[in-house]
Structure 1
Amino acid sequence: MPDNSFLESVGQYFDAAAPHTGLPEGLLKQIKVCNSVYQIYFPVKIDGEVRVIEAYRAQHSHHRSPTKGGIRYSNHVNQEEVVALATLMSYKCAIVDVPFGGAKGGVRINPWEYSEADLEKITRRYTTELIRRKFIGPAIDVPAPDYGTGPREMAWIYDTYRSFHPEDINAAGCVTGKPVSQNGVRGRSEATGRGVFYGIREACNEKELMDQLGLSVGIEGKTMVVQGLGNVGSHTATISQDEGGVKIIGVSEVEGAIYNPDGMDIHDVMRHRAEHGTILTYPGAEAFDKEDRRAVLEFECDILVPAALENQIDEHNAGNVKAKLIAEAANGPVTAAGAAILAERGIVVLPDIYLNAGGVTVSYFEWLKNLSHMRFGRLQKRFDEQNYRRIVEQIETTTGKEISDRDRRMIIHGADEIDLVRSGLEETMILGFQGIYSLYREKPEIKDLRTAAFALAISKISNDYISLGIWP
């Protein structure tokens, strides 16, 4: 099977899962196609010169409203990529029961070639174009950060939308991933990486799956290699190390890769890169330069986390992968041809349409916060703390023993916003994995978790089409 484009790989995954759903061909076709794509060209004056910027917004499915998906700034943005990412968003939201249709946006620029002022011009003009065509709004389509964008760009989008709709009291819900000071939610920046950790942990707790891979149950002590130390990769690595007891033995970035089978402190690695501008001089590790940076995908390890861009593991290097479990933190890091080879070799892949759903899950929490105009925890935190304090005091009176100040603080702590966000994300990722793994075990004809995930997503979306009367 030769490698195809990202969109074609997504289509192949869909086609592999469709027969396991028992749905009619017409309904499957409706679920598969992208409903609408908006291609935009707009002028922006930069350094006294007018440049025409190419941009897109795709809305794959309207079985739920609003649609939801990030906006990426990259020289590689094109219509096919945006449609593929919007398609994955539909399935991703369905798997974790987040009530959005899938969407995605992209602006074809290299953001690192522009000043902050120029990026603001581009972002506000792009937002204006979306507003004019009704491709953005808290009940229509809600963007979020993606590759090359972050809270700063989301704040510009929010401000631009609000200037066009000053009467909309829910305007803050037009975009997520905003700074906390601009109606964002605590825990959003770490959400995707933390969700990846929860997903890996849940898979590692499944004895049957670990027996299949020849690994012990539990995440603690397992070796991990991470490709890409951006937002997702860095949070996945730090949380896996700090909360899961994972040993990080390899990482890569744009300048190359490093490997140390004895393990590395990921915080120390990131500090070294911040100070020296590279990971290649990190002491005690074997270095691979820029030309060999994809060697990170072939390092010996238990868990490989591709957290960079799509199409990283393909028919050319899948046969060299030595990891036992691949956790797709990025979108589409394994091509359909590469996935087939990995499956033949018995390597388990935790698919992107489930594993990196932490971002959209916490974006959903932010959207709910914006619509409710209420910070999470505001109503119950103090009430809970007072109740817990009374319980502790009653225990001390009854037993005649005094609880330490440290334990007292821990017991009476009421849930803050970030506690509730993390708890909701953890529950979502656990239930998402259980749904996929249950289907995988129930249907022996389904040979991998990706096919099970796609089949589950397709079935959930079809239920919406039928129950809402969208499908005749």
Structure 2
Amino acid sequence: MNSGLLAPPAVRAGGTSSRPPEASLTWTDPVTGRQGFLVVDRLVRGLASGGLRMREGCCQEEVRDLAAAMSVKEALHYDPEHRYLPMGGAKGGIDCDPLSSEARGVLTRFLAFIRPYVANHWATGDDLGTTTELIDEVLRELGVEGCITPVVATLDDPEAARKRFADAFAVEVDGIRLAELVGGCGVAEAALTVLDREGTPRSSATAVVQGFGAMGGSTARFLHAAGIRVVGISDVHGTVANPRGLAVEDMLRHRGPHGAIDRSRLGSADILLDRDDCLSLAADVLVPAATSYTVHEANHDRVTARYIVEAANLPVTAAAEDRLRARGCVVVPDVVANSGTNAWWWWVLYGDVAPDAESSLAKVRGALRDLVTETLKLAEDAGWTPRQAARHLADARRDVLLNRPGA
């Protein structure tokens, strides 16, 4: 328990403080009236990392929470033995349906407006509703080399770094890109770590994955490969459940665009349910892997899982997390569980890991297991939530980073 010597960090969504961001911009598209947002939570060495999302209803507060969470994710992976030196956190968001005919024009005009940031300070990439390839394409049209331009400019051998990055993004494993797999590998390892810590045999453990896109699909793959019974998976059309376990690999082979499950190829024992029914399916672990604010004040009581491992960004609201904790459900926060993707980008770019599947997945597994173990132990010892523990670890590591000679 907390001895009283250490006060718990005050946290907002994402495990972050209420400290105001260093920069916050709101842009209104002169053509469509759509709004875009850029929040730079903090710069470290003049740099910040974080993706750009596009979705109907995206707002400034959401982007602020996401940017603050990025600062925590970056700091958590500081290791003085690595070449990679963490950055600050930033995030972009556009209030627009990414499938609409106006989406690309809105994206282009938004990036043109914030060009000084993406050219010099903000290393961005894909997020909900966007792809790295699309963002790179638009940036090149605007005279910026690509998403990682600000970081590449700081490296001793930019050409070698670019080659490592391109090589890693070209790797596929059983038809799925390595860049898509690393995040789910980390989330699955987070879930396996909590189950192993409490002594639950993998052969009897169960999981539900909400969302079957890049993160949800790869998480389901790694859980299934580890022997966990995945008893429910949801997509935008509903939930597919089977208490004996779903045929995850077959579902992945026939997965449609944007993570759609091909219901014509399901097994005879598979059950079709409403989309939100995934929350109440009996399972040891629930993995929300789709949108933000999925578990909230109005539906948290439907959750039956002992653990929620956050694969999406901000999937559990702060109020819901408090209520879940009160009844014994442990939330492994997104800043820990889904941090593997961000860290892997920079491990590859800086040369801390080889641009291949074997070394990349091994690195992600080891780093996430260590980080989850450390976070949960601190939370238990101090009487904190895992989110508070993650914030404390991030603050301590950032302090060490900023006090390095020459920092």
Q: What's the TM-score bracket when you normalise by the shorter of the two chains? A: 0.7 to 0.9
* Residue deviations 1:289-333 (CA, integer Å, cap 9, x gap): 3xxx11110100111111111222223322232111111111111
Partners of 2:57 and 2:278 in 1: how far apart?
A: 23
Kept in 2, the 8 Å contact 1:225–1:299? The answer is: yes
- CA separation of 1:52 and 1:325: change in aligned 2, threshold 3 A: same
Q: Is 1:431 aligned to residue 356 of structure 2?
A: no
CA contact 2:286–2:308 (8 Å) conserved in 1: yes
1:375-414 → structure 2 map (5 Å cutoff): 377=354
Structure 2 counterpart of 1:159: 140
Q: Cα distance, 1:108 vs. partner?
A: 1.8
- Aligned to 1:459, which of 393, 396, 400? 396
SS in 2 for 1:19: coil
Alignment of structure 1 residues 142-153 onto 2, 5 Å = 142-153=123-134
The Cα offsets for residues 100-140 of structure 1, whole Å up to 9 and x where unpaired, read as 111101122111122xxx65544443332222xx2113x62
Task: Specify whether residues 438 and 42 from structure 1 end up closer, same or farther in structure 2 by C-alpha distance, changes over 3 A only.
Answer: same
Q: After TM superposition, give the deviation of residue 463 of structure 1 in Å.
A: 4.5
Corresponding residue number in structure 2 for 1:195: 186
Q: Distance in 1 between matches of 2:125 and 2:163?
A: 8
1:87 to 2:103 alignment = no
Partner residue in 1 for 2:7: 19
- 1:294 matches 2:281: no
Alignment CA distance shift 1:169-1:84 (3 Å) = closer
Secondary structure of the structure 1 residue equivalent to 2:56: coil
2:26–2:38 contact (8 Å) kept in structure 1: yes
1:231 pairs with one of 214, 233, 245: 214
User: Quick one: distance in 2 between partners of 1:228 and 1:192?
Assistant: 14
Partner Cα distance (1:74, 1:178) in 2: 32
| Structure 1 segment 273-312 matched on structure 2, within 5 A | 274=256, 282=266, 283-289=268-274, 293-312=275-294
**1:284 Cα deviation from its structure 2 partner:** 1.8
3-state secondary structure, aligned to 1:309: coil
Structure-1 separation of matches of 2:326 and 2:94: 38
The residue correspondences of 1:100-139 to structure 2 (distance < 5 A) are 100-114=87-101, 119-131=103-115, 134-137=116-119
Identical amino acids, percent of aligned pairs: 25
SS in 1 for 2:231: strand
Deviation at 1:225, TM superposition (A): 0.6
Give the direction of change, closer, same or farther, for the CA distance of 1:64–1:153 in structure 2 (3 Å limit).
same
Mapped pair 1:222 → 2:205: yes
Distance in 1 separating the partners of 2:278 and 2:256: 20
Deviation of 1:158 after TM superposition, in Å, equals 4.8
Q: Residue 24 of structure 2: which of 34, 37, 43 is its match?
A: 37
State the SS of the aligned residue for 1:135: helix
Question: TM-score normalised to the size of structure 1?
Answer: 0.70
Q: Evaluate the alpha carbon distance shift between residue 41 and residue 100 of structure 1 in structure 2; reply closer, same or farther with a 3 A threshold.
A: same
Q: 1:348 to 1:277 in 2, by over 3 A?
A: closer
For residues 148 and 20 of structure 1, the distance between their equivalents in structure 2, rounded to whole angstroms, comes to 35
Post-superposition shift, 1:254? 0.9
Instruction: Tell me the CA shift for residue 454 of structure 1.
Output: 2.2
1:86 positional shift: 0.2
Residue identity opposite 2:109 in structure 1: R
Separation in 2, partners of 1:314, 1:219 = 29
Q: Structure 2 counterpart of 1:239, which letter?
A: F
TM normalised by structure 2 equals 0.81
Superposed CA RMSD in Å reads 3.6
Look up the SS of the partner of 2:50 in the other structure.
strand
Q: Would the aligned equivalents of 2:237 and 2:260 in 1 still touch at CA under 8 Å?
A: no
Question: In the alignment, what sits opposite 2:175?
Answer: none
* Structure 1 unaligned regions, length at least 5: 1-17, 23-28, 44-49, 211-215, 378-415
Q: Which blocks of at least 5 consecutive residues in structure 2 are unaligned?
A: 1-5, 11-15, 79-84, 172-177
Shift of 1:178: 12
Aligned counterpart in structure 2 of residue 58 of structure 1, from 10, 35, 39:
39
Letter in 1 for 2:112: T
- Work out which of the residue numbers 321, 327, 330 in structure 1 matches 2:303: 321
The residue identity in structure 2 corresponding to 1:102 is G
Give the deviation of 1:183 after TM superposition: 8.0
- Give the CA deviation at 1:228: 0.6
Helix, strand or coil at the partner of 1:261:
coil
- Is 1:75 the counterpart of 2:75? The answer is no
* Matching residue's letter, 1:286: I
Native 8 Å contact 1:298 1:321 kept in 2: yes
Determine helix, strand or coil for the equivalent of 1:189: helix
Q: Does 2:224 correspond to 1:241?
A: yes
Query: Secondary structure of the residue that 1:224 maps to in structure 2?
Result: strand
Distance 1:353 1:322 in 2: 23
SS at match of 1:34: coil
Structure 1 residue 52: Cα displacement: 4.1
For 2:18 and 2:206, the matched residues in 1 are separated by: 39
Confirm or deny that 1:365 pairs with 2:347. yes
Contact kept in structure 2, 1:158 and 1:172, CA below 8 Å: no
In the alignment, what sits opposite 1:405? Answer: none
| Aligned pair partner of 2:381 in 439, 442, 448 | 442
Distance 1:352 1:168 in 2: 25
- Preserved contact between residue 311 and residue 334 of structure 1 (Cα < 8 Å): yes
- Tell me, yes or no, if the aligned pair for 1:227 and 1:308 is still in contact at 8 Å: yes
Cα distance in 2 between the residues matched to 1:184 and 1:172? 21
Residue identity in the other structure for 2:212: L
1:352 alignment partner, one of 334, 339, 342: 334
Q: CA deviation at 1:96?
A: 2.4
